Amino acid sequence: MIKSRISALSLAMLGAMASNALHADDVRSLSMGGAAVSAGTGVAGVMGNPSLLLRAQNQEDDYQFHIGLYAQVRDNADIADEVDKHENTIDNIDAEVDAIAAQDVTCVTPNASRDDVCLTGTQALADLADSLLDTFENVDGEPVDARIGIDIGFSVLHTSIPFTVHLSTRATGSGQADISQEDVDYTSDLANVLGDDNITLGEIEDTAAIALTNNNGTIQIEEPEDVLTSEATGSAVLRTQLALAFAKSFAIGEQMVDIGVTPKLSSLRAGDFTKPIDELDDDDTDLGDEFEESENKETSFTFDLGASTTLPDNDSVRFGGVVRNVLKESIESKNGFEFETTPQAIVSATYHNDTFLVTGDLALNKAKEDNFETQMLSVGTELTMSFFSFRAGIGHDLAADDEPTTAAVGVGLGPVDIGFRLNGSKVHGGIQLALSF
């Protein structure tokens, strides 16, 4: 039962999450640590900064097309490792409890004292309890977050005001275990009482989970599945978004500045659940029904505002900036769980020539995208040779408490881009097809 419940908890969390993203993830920029605001290309680049539409127009493309798939997981609790660690825990606990219960108690005599040893051979069960206690401490309150999405879009560039139409479906989810103090106390008692490979009469009398049975001839130990009171919580939001980006150049003094805006209309569905861990593997438990009962639906509107420009007489150096999600968005489930999307300002600079590019983005504030909080500092590079591009970069999330720095790598094979960011419990990857003609 312990194994199955830990497994069910992890599946419930990941299942809740696999049903997000916010602006379209540009897999090309993902490969460069996430930098996109001044170096983006194609439809995905426009969704990172709408002013980049004019850069594409200046390259004499008439149309651009994009389709992409991307996913990201942050497993701060290392749930997958905990499941592997406890693969055989329940079988081992059952075996040790049976072995201890089969022993005759030797300490109940007319002259028995509290220090008399009642039976031995308890160390193995103590070690199992200690391992379970470590798991409780590792996962308690630690979220597992994920986002996944698919998007499709096209740009029309030969008009006086170029524009992009973009449609995406993406989901964000989060789950965590809330371990009760009663469960911690119970597990800690077993680890401490049984830890010296024996148990005394006084320890039996003082430990609620252990009792004398059969006229004081044996002992009975409560098994964890009979006393667990901890809960698992999960939440998810599904966002279907239609965006329209357009841009125009303006003269500010003698400097030309490209300005773009992306209005975004979204349909949101949000739900959550809270369940005792010991019910997660019951046949009668349907987490889909739990979400459906709590689900709320709303329509929301926000927009991005971006700008970019080059150095005078040197278009190899480009500067950019964007404010994403200028209008805050939020939705609550029927249970009152709230998802938020908040504004974020990002500045960027890029140097490039025909074969080499280096770029960097800096988010000026922490922001949430459907509760997925980030504040990225990204630096990346790209080397292009004919139809092949190699990309690498580093992203540092100023909003992350654990493992904030990720390494990124990716390739471009003609119109196909593949990219990943990796670091410990964090994985972010995607693939996209981008065409210009």
Considering the domain boundaries, does residue 186 fall inside one?
Answer: yes
332 and 395 co-located in one domain: yes
263 and 200 co-located in one domain: no
What does the pLDDT profile of the chain (437 residues) look like in tens digits? 444 444 444 444 443 333 333 344 789 999 999 998 999 999 999 999 999 999 988 887 899 999 999 998 877 667 767 767 777 777 788 888 889 889 999 888 888 899 999 999 999 999 998 988 888 888 888 888 888 999 999 999 999 999 999 999 998 888 888 989 998 998 899 899 999 999 999 999 999 889 999 888 899 988 877 787 888 888 899 999 999 999 999 998 889 999 999 999 999 999 998 888 766 655 555 666 777 888 999 999 999 999 999 998 888 999 999 999 999 999 999 988 899 999 999 999 999 999 999 999 999 999 998 887 899 999 999 999 989 999 999 999 999 877 889 999 999 999 999 999 887 667 889 999 999 88
284 and 251 co-located in one domain: yes
Considering the domain boundaries, does residue 51 fall inside one?
Answer: yes
What SS3 string covers the chain? Answer: CHHHHHHHHHHHHHHHHCCCCCCCCCHHHHCCCCCCCCCCCHHHHHHHCHHHHHHHHHCCCCEEEEEEEEEEEEECCCHHHHHHHCCCHHHHHHHHHHHHHCCCCCCCCCCCCCCCEEEECCHHHHHHHHHHHHHHHHHECCCEEEEEEEEEEEEECCCCCCEEEEEEEEEEEEEEEECCHHHHHHHHHHHHHCCCCEEEHHHHHHCCCEEEECCCCEEEECCHHHCCCCEEEEEEEEEEEEEEEEEEEEEECCEEEEEEEEEEEEEEEEEEEEEEHHHCCCCCCCHHHHHHHHCEEEEEEEEEEEEEEEECCEEEEEEEEEEECCCCEEEECCCCCEEEECCEEEEEEEEECCCEEEEEEEECCCEEECCEEECEEEEEEEEEECCEEEEEEEEEECCCCCCCEEEEEEEEECCEEEEEEEECCEEEEEEEEEEEC
71 and 94 co-located in one domain: no
Q: Give the end of a domain, one of 226, 261, 288.
A: 226
Considering the domain boundaries, does residue 234 fall inside one?
Answer: no
Considering the domain boundaries, does residue 236 fall inside one?
Answer: no
261 and 195 co-located in one domain: no
173 and 308 co-located in one domain: yes
Q: The pTM is what?
A: 0.82
249 and 290 co-located in one domain: yes
97 and 27 co-located in one domain: no
In which domain, by residue range, is 114 found? 83-137+180-226
Domain tally, the chain = 2
219 and 331 co-located in one domain: no
271 and 147 co-located in one domain: yes
